[in-house]
Amino acid sequence: MKPEIKVSPLFFALFLFLSYGTPLFRTSPIALVGFFSYFFGLLYFTGAVILVMYYKMGGYFGLLLVSTLLLFIESADMDRNRAPWEHYLVLILTIIMVFPTYALIKNLAPIIPPMEVTLIASLILLVLYGISRIIGMGKTK
Amino acid sequence: MNMEEPTTTGKAVLLIISLWVIVLFAFFSLRWEMIYLVLPMVWLFLTAVTFFKPSLEIDVERVIPHERILEGEIVEIKIRVKSKERIPSLRLIEDIPEELEIIEGKGEFLISLTPGEERELTYKVRMKRGIHKWEWIKAEYQDPFGFFFIERTFDVFSEIVGVPKIEDVITPYSTKGTKVTAGPLPSPRVGEGVEFHAIREYQPGDPFKIINWKASAKMGKIMSNEYESERKVDVVLIIDAAYKGREIFDYTVRAAASFILDCLKNGTSFGLLISEEVPMWIRIDYGKRHFFKCIDFLSLAKPDKNNMIAYQVEHIIKTRFPARAQILYFSPFLTEEGIDALKTLYRYGYNVIAISPNPYSTIEAKTREEELAKKLLMLERKALLSRLSSYGLIIDWDVEKPLNSAVAEVIRL
């Protein structure tokens, strides 16, 4: 099967560059499956995020690593579907929005009164549940 | 228009599962402080839900150039789509009849539209004989990330009748018959004749224009020409729609259409019998309107498995055929029924010209064995046609050559 490749190699190269010197780099060849299948690409992505958490590679770097990997998986899927350039632009802009959000959370954290970790966890879970509900409304194709 | 609610794609479900796996891992592995790593995924979903959840408000129409188009011609079909909202990626799927060959473009279009924008999309197909129906246009929308999907089917009905190709042919029979007509086209009013009949002595009251001056000089008395009204033959075209001859049925129909045009030009009246499962009999008439009616029936004719042409012909001879009509019988003579029909026509005393498209002329022999088999079949056919020639004039038509040359060969022009 010959994969449709247009933009995704750029993000893959960026991911390789960023992950170099981290435990994630050794697993990066597996990420190549993202060129062929969204399912396997996402499987690798989930594992990679778990690894990033496990090795505590957080902060802007961790977020950049996860964002680049997600960009690669999504753009490979767009390549396969021969998506117009506008879609890539939307994807990149959306992912860029992650960093101001993180900066906002990070800057707000010292100001807002300290809360119980479990309470924050419950709140986040509630928000995620809400998103899942909105997305899951209606039928699934 | 069939409205449907947006559906969530499998891709979105996968990403949600992945998101929850990561969240649960963070929770159970006591890495909760790193939950912000799911932010990229959350942002993707938020963008899709907020900006791209579709409703698909569009108007779609199809434009066809004509309702009747000659077979073999290339037709440009246009789809006009107007959007009431911004649609970044709209996929339109056209219901192209399967039997039509796409020459240019595709039956699927991927476009993006701004509010109020109107687009015209085109593709080209090669027309085939028969009736071709377009029933719907399907519109599909997926957000840029492919999380939501909406599909709507618009009932847009269009129809084109592919009419058979027509060529000029030589009339292989005499158009003189029993029907009294005046002028090039039969008319119910019989007037003075136009065909020369004889010379006779001038009678008082004869118009001066019919005086034959040469004959008067020779005879020494005034002589007049005598005219008679034109007498035209009724032509009945019979088409053997045997399923066995389906490979060359289009040629059979083209030949019939060409001879119908010839009848129209000659001013003869004509009727048509298409011997399908239920025989289609178009009564004898004349004129352009009748011609187009026959062409319409020929456009829709198709080969049929339950062919009973001999029985149908015999029944219609008894009830509908005029006496001494000229019969044009189109048959590949592949079935006993088809052969019997010719014999029946002969038995009832009709003048028959059988135009027989050669069913083996389209076969291309690839091996020596196939070539030998083709030769044997051709010989068998030649022998059959030779036997049948006692029942009427047989025109053996190699469909790779023009019909006119096959006719000319037989009537020795």
Q: Return the CATH number at B7.
A: 2.60.40.10
Residue B186 is assigned to a structural domain of this protein:
no
What is the residue type of B155? D
A2 at B interface, C-beta within 8 A: no
Residues B276 and B218 in one domain: no
Say if the Cβ atoms of B147 and A135 lie within 8 Å.
yes
Contact B112 A140 (CB under 8 A): no
Clarify whether residues B11 and B125 are in a common domain: yes
Rounded to an integer, what distance in angstroms lies between the CA atom of residue B381 and that of residue B281?
Answer: 29
Are B43 and B138 in the same domain? Answer: yes
Q: Are residues B153 and B263 in the same domain?
A: no
Cα B303 to chain centroid, rounded:
13
For residue A57, give how far its alpha carbon lies from the nearest alpha carbon of chain B (Å): 9
Determine the average pLDDT of the residues in B35-47: 89
Q: CB distance A121–B32 less than 8 Å?
A: yes
CB contact under 8 A, B31 and A132: no
Buried b (16+ CB within 10 A) or exposed e, B283-309: ebbbeeebbeebbebbbbbebbeebbb
User: Where is the domain boundary, B228, B247, B272?
Assistant: B228
Beta-strand ranges (E) seen in B71-129 are 74-83, 87-94, 101-104, 108-113, 118-126
Q: What's the domain range around B237? A: 232-411
Q: How does DSSP classify residue B211?
A: B
Q: Cβ contacts (< 8 Å) between A49 and chain B: which residues?
A: 22, 37-38
Most confident of B24-38, B39-53, B153-167: B153-167
CB-based contact B37 A62, cutoff 8 Å:
yes
Encode pLDDT of B227-257 as tens digits: 765 667 889 999 999 898 888 999 999 999 9
Counted residue by residue, chain B has a size of: 413
Chain A residues with CB-CB distance to B39 below 8 A: 63, 98, 101-102
**Of B106, B141, B163, the domain-final residue:** B163
CB atoms within 10 A of CB B68: 13
Contact call for A53 and B37, based on CB within 8 A:
yes
The reply to whether residue B40 touches residue A67, judged by beta carbons under 8 angstroms, is yes
Residue B171 lies in a domain: no
Please state, for a pLDDT cut of 70, what percent of chain B lies above it: 92
Shared-domain flag, residues B249 and B339? yes
Look at residue B295 in the predicted model and tell me its pLDDT.
93
Of B29, B36, B110, the CB nearest to A63: B36
- Distance CA(B342)–CA(B244), nearest Å, equals 17
Q: pLDDT tens, B258-274?
A: 999 999 988 888 999 99
Give the closest-approach CA distance of A50 to chain B in angstroms: 6
* Mean pLDDT value of segment B12-40: 88
CB contact under 8 A, A131 and B32: no
Mean pLDDT of the region B17-23: 90
Question: Considering only CB atoms, which chain B residues are within 8 Å of A82?
Answer: 110
Q: In chain A, which among 11-40 make CB contacts under 8 A with chain B? A: 38-39
CA-nearest residue of chain A to B8? A140
The amino acid at B174? S
DSSP B34-81: GGGGGHHHHHHHHHHHHH------EEEEEE-S-SEEETT-EEEEEEEE
- Residue B402 pLDDT > 80, yes or no? yes
Instruction: Determine which of A52-66, A115-129, B358-372 has the lowest per-residue pLDDT on average.
Output: A115-129
CB contacts of A81 in chain B (<8 Å) are: 146
**Overall average pLDDT of the A17-27 stretch:** 90
Cβ contacts of residue B256 below 8 Å, gap of 6+?
A: B164, B237, B239, B272, B298, B328, B330
With CB atoms and an 8 Å threshold, state whether A141 touches B149.
yes
> Which residues fall within 8 angstroms of residue B337, CB to CB, at 6 or more apart?
B240, B242, B307, B308, B309, B310, B311
B183 confidence band (pLDDT: 50, 70, 90): very low
Q: In whole angstroms, give the CA distance from residue B152 to residue B140.
A: 6
Q: Can you give the pLDDT at residue B357?
A: 94
Q: Does A113 touch chain B (CB under 8 A)?
A: no
Specify if B43 maps to a domain. yes
d(Cα B358, Cα B396) in Å, to the nearest integer? 7
pLDDT of B3 over the 60 cut: no
C-alpha B99: how far from its chain's center? Answer: 11
Q: Which residues of B touch A66 (CB under 8 A)?
A: 37, 40
* CA quadruple B315, B317, B321, B323: dihedral, nearest 10: -150
Q: Which residues of A touch B7 (CB under 8 A)?
A: 138-141
Q: How far is B23 from chain A (nearest CA, A)?
A: 8
Q: Are residues B214 and B332 in the same domain?
A: no
CB B274 within 8 A of CB B241: yes
**Is B309 in the same domain as B373?**
yes
Q: Are B228 and B195 in contact (CB under 8 A)?
A: yes
Residue-level pLDDT at B379: 94
Range in B6-15, B229-238, B297-306, B376-385 with the lowest mean pLDDT = B229-238
CA distance A137 to B192: 86
Between β-strands B351-357 and B393-397, what pairing exists: parallel, antiparallel or unpaired?
Answer: parallel
Stronger pLDDT, A62 or A134, i.e. the higher one: A62
Residue B184: inside a domain: no
pLDDT digits (tens, 9 = 90+) for B315-336: 888 888 887 888 999 999 999 9
A134 contacts chain B (CB < 8 A)? yes
A39 to B22: CB separation less than 8 angstroms, yes or no: no
Closest CA to B267 of B385, B393, B175: B175
**Nearest by Cα to B41 from A97, A90, A70, A62:** A70
| Same-domain pairing of B125 and B54 | yes
Distance (Å, rounded) from C-alpha B176 to C-alpha B268? 9
Residue A96 has pLDDT above 90, yes or no: yes
Q: For residues B44 and B140, state if they share a domain.
A: yes
Half-sphere exposure of B100 (CA within 13 A, CB side): 30
A-chain CB neighbours of B48 within 8 Å are 135
Q: Please, what is the average pLDDT of chain B?
A: 86
CATH of the domain at B324: 3.40.50.410
Contact state of B45 with A135 under an 8 Å Cβ cutoff: yes
From the number of C-beta atoms within 10 Å of its C-beta (0-12, 13-18, 19+), residue B377 rates as middle
Q: Cβ contact (<8 Å) for A140 and B7? A: yes
Q: What is the pLDDT of residues B57-107, one digit of tens each?
A: 889 999 999 999 999 999 999 999 998 887 877 889 999 999 999 999 888
Residue A112: its pLDDT value, please?
Answer: 73
Is the residue at B126 inside a domain?
Answer: yes
What distance lies between CA B40 and its chain's CA centroid?
58
Residues B379-394 pLDDT 10s: 999 999 999 999 999 9
Q: Are residues B218 and B364 in the same domain?
A: no
In a domain, B389, yes or no: yes
Residues B31 and B61 in one domain: yes
Q: In total, how many domains does chain B have?
A: 3
- The stretch A66-83 carries a mean pLDDT of 90
Name the residue ranges covered by the structural domains of chain A: 8-111
Look at A117 and B32 and tell me if their CB atoms are within 8 Å: yes
pLDDT at position B195 over 70: no
Q: Is residue B344 domain-resident?
A: yes
Smallest CA–CA distance, residue A88 to chain B, in Å, is 8
Provide, as residue numbers in chain A, all residues whose Cβ is less than 8 Å from the Cβ of B12.
135
Residue contact B43–A63, C-beta within 8 A: no
CA B380 to chain centre: 31
Q: Residue B285: is its pLDDT beyond 50?
A: yes
Q: Could you tell me which chain B residue has the CA closest to the CA of A106?
A: B36
Give chain A's end-to-end CA distance (angstroms, integer): 25
Q: Round to whole Å and give the CA distance between B76 and A121.
A: 61
Q: How far is the C-alpha of B52 from the C-alpha of B142, rounded, in Å?
A: 8
